[in-house]
Amino acid sequence: YVEGGNERTLAHMDTWRITDVEEFRRSGLEEYLEAFDIVIIEWADKYFHEIEEMVQKNGGEVVKISFEYLSPTERKVSVYES
């Protein structure tokens, strides 16, 4: 996509089915972080420490977004920068 005249690349990863740290490390996330501008990771809390290490190693930043269920038609969205 294009943002402010600059072409940006977005990647998505879901860690829900990853069962342990070794599988997580083999997931390809590090390659995503090296190759893409923005990586969205669902269920990141499972491996947050590892993600934070990888992001810092690649000179990026972590922005955590959480969704809280309030009702069938409402959610609370919170954004945290580290």
Q: Whole-number mean pLDDT of the chain?
A: 89
User: Which residues are registered as beta bridge partners of 64?
Assistant: 80
5-57 pLDDT, tens digit per residue, is 888 888 899 999 999 989 998 998 888 888 777 899 999 998 999 999 989 88
Per the CB < 8 A criterion, the answer to whether 51 and 25 are in contact is: no
Q: Where would I find the beta strands (DSSP E) of 1-82? A: 2-3, 6-7, 10-14, 38-42, 63-71, 74-81
Residues 6+ apart with CB under 8 A from 8: 1, 2, 37, 38
